[in-house]
């Protein structure tokens, strides 16, 4: 097993002493009494190293995050070994910062919860090794966390939301619609058949060289598209939303991506500029792409709501749609979804943007939910492995498609 070498800031040969020294640095607040259970959450599934301490009632006592976005923007995408190295360099500091901010000493923790699936193998491995060392030294229970389940349940930390509810998770790595019936009880209604919307927006932003745009140089692709779209006219380009004939809740973004790519190439020819320079029509393209993505996501979600209503799967008096994941911070997409929830008498809820993107709080909170429900509280971590691929819940997307629900047309006046 590997552990973090404090001076070099990289993982080195196992040394119980290093971890011991790390733990000794928390000798503060002797005798302080915490009335509630406390969970430390650790997240390293993709490109954010994050940790947080959350109590049983949902109070966030301390949190810390190190984002790798800027590094990956420069390399034009996530290079797994680079992400792994950055997690290694930052995990100890981030966990330390979260614990220090919380004023909780490691011995006072009730459990340690860590993302073990799904995600990048090399990234997941760093968080898991570190957590297993900590668990071993502290003799605390370990709670393995499913990253997407954690995204889905974050809303229960910020709002009073009872099961069942519908969740739409849209990020750089995922795109799915699921019915949440319990802490660990999910029905998958639909998912992307190819890439996720965040991935597609990142690719378009890269193709448009938005990193060279003075206003967008430090933004993720999706955020850059949203920013630029405000200055553009979405009607200047007419991209059709994908899968209009498929009456299911699946998504697709690859075809649209290729059409946009071709359009950019054509515009470069027209404007007489080289690939790598910014098109004068970049803002219009951004606005049209964003709107088409919003319409596609809204339509599939509309069908999912109608399916759940038809089968009486949601609360009749207060049906709730939760939207989360990095792309959920996009206000244009949120507005499109609000049009859908207004038309179907549902309540639309989104966690605040900092809890929509990857964070440690959602992992710690999922640990709390599992602790309360008595689900997967491990006192022995033998044989525990990370799982890069892992579905969410029971897949009923075929049944959803067979219902072939026709979705009434809504005016997307955004």
Which parts of this chain interact with ligand KG4 (CB under 6 A)? 46, 171-173, 198-199, 201-202, 220-223, 226, 325-327, 329-330, 357-358
Quick one: what does residue 327 bind among ligand KG4, Zn ion, none, with the CB cut-off 5 to 8 Å set by partner type? ligand KG4
Quick one: what does residue 222 bind among ligand KG4, Zn ion, none, with the CB cut-off 5 to 8 Å set by partner type? ligand KG4
In the stretch 66-105, what mask flags binding to Zn ion with x, by CB under 5 A?
----------------------------------------
The b/e string for 329-354 (b: 16+ C-beta within 10 A; e otherwise) is: bbebbbebbbbbbeebebebbbbeee
Of 54 and 305, which has the nearer Cβ to Zn ion?
A: 54
Residue 369 in tokens: 């939910």
Quick one: what does residue 287 bind among ligand KG4, Zn ion, none, with the CB cut-off 5 to 8 Å set by partner type? none
CB 68 within 8 A of CB 84: no
Please give the Cα distance from 256 to 272 (Å, whole number). Answer: 24
C-alpha distance from residue 383 to each of 79, 99, 119, 400 (Å) = 28, 27, 19, 36
Other Cβ atoms within 10 Å of 184 Cβ, number: 16
Residue 1 in tokens: 């097993």
Beta bridge partner(s), residue 177 = 168, 190
In the stretch 181-220, what mask flags binding to Zn ion with x, by CB under 5 A?
----------------------------------------
CB of 43 to Zn ion, least distance (A): 8
Q: What is the DSSP-derived secondary structure letter of residue 407?
A: P
CB of 324 to ligand KG4, least distance (A): 8
Figure out which of the listed residues 47, 226, 250, 358 binds Zn ion, where binding follows CB under 5 A. Answer: 358
Quick one: what does residue 223 bind among ligand KG4, Zn ion, none, with the CB cut-off 5 to 8 Å set by partner type? ligand KG4
* Binding segment (CB under 5 A) for Zn ion, from list 6-14, 112-120, 168-176, 380-388: 168-176
Figure out which of the listed residues 171, 324, 329, 359 binds Zn ion, where binding follows CB under 5 A. Answer: 171
C-alpha dihedral sign at 331, 333, 336, 337: negative
The 165-170 sheet, strands edge to edge: 346-349, 319-324, 165-170, 175-182, 185-191, 394-395
Of 121 and 378, which has the nearer Cβ to ligand KG4?
A: 121
Quick check: 366 binds Zn ion (CB under 5 A)? no
Quick one: what does residue 241 bind among ligand KG4, Zn ion, none, with the CB cut-off 5 to 8 Å set by partner type? none
Of 198 and 242, which has the nearer Cβ to Zn ion?
A: 198
Q: How many CA atoms lie within 13 A of 355 on its CB side?
A: 25
CB of 333 to ligand KG4, least distance (A): 7
CB 224 within 8 A of CB 79: no
CB of 24 to ligand KG4, least distance (A): 34
Distance between the two ends of the chain, CA-based, in angstroms?
A: 53
Rule CB under 5 A: which residues touch Zn ion?
Answer: 171, 358
């Amino acid at each position: 097993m590997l552990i973090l070498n404090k001076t070099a800031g990289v993982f080195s040969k196992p040394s119980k002493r290093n971890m011991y020294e790390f733990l000794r640095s928390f000798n503060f607040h002797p005798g302080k009494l915490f009335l509630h259970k406390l969970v430390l959450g650790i997240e390293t599934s993709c490109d954010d190293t994050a940790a947080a301490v959350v109590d049983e009632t949902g109070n966030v006592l301390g949190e810390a995050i190190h984002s790798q976005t800027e590094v990956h923007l420069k390399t034009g995408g996530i290079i797994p070994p680079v992400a792994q190295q950055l997690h290694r360099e930052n995990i100890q500091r981030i966990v330390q910062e979260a614990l220090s901010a919380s004023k909780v000493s490691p011995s006072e923790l009730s459990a340690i919860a860590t993302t073990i699936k799904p995600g990048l193998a090399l990234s997941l491995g760093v968080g898991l090794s570190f957590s297993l060392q900590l668990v071993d030294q502290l003799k605390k229970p370990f709670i393995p966390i499913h990253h997407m389940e954690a995204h889905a349940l974050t809303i229960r930390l910020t709002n009073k939301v009872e099961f069942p509810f519908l969740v739409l998770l849209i990020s750089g790595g995922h795109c799915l619609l699921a019915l949440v019936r319990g802490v660990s009880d999910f029905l998958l209604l639909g998912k992307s058949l190819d890439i996720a919307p965040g991935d597609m927006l990142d690719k378009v932003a890269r193709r448009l060289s938005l990193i060279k745009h003075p206003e967008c140089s430090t933004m993720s692709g999706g955020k850059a598209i949203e920013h630029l779209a405000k200055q553009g006219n979405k009607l200047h380009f007419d991209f059709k939303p994908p899968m209009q004939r498929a009456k299911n809740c699946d998504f697709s973004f690859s075809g649209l991506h290729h059409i946009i790519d071709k359009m950019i190439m054509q515009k470069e020819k027209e404007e007489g500029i080289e690939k790598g320079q910014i098109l004068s029509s970049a803002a219009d393209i951004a606005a049209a792409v964003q709107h088409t993505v919003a319409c596609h996501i809204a339509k599939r979600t509309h069908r999912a709501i109608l399916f759940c209503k038809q089968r009486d799967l949601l609360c009749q008096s207060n049906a709730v749609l939760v939207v989360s994941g990095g792309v959920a911070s996009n206000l244009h997409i949120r507005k499109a979804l609000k049009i859908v929830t207004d038309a179907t008498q549902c309540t639309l809820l989104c966690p605040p943007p900092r809890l929509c993107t990857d964070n440690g709080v959602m992992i710690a909170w999922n640990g709390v939910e599992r602790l309360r429900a008595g689900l997967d509280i491990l006192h022995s971590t033998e044989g525990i492995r990370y799982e890069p691929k892992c579905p969410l819940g029971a897949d009923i997307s075929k049944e959803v498609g067979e219902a072939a629900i026709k979705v009434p047309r809504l005016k997307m006046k955004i």
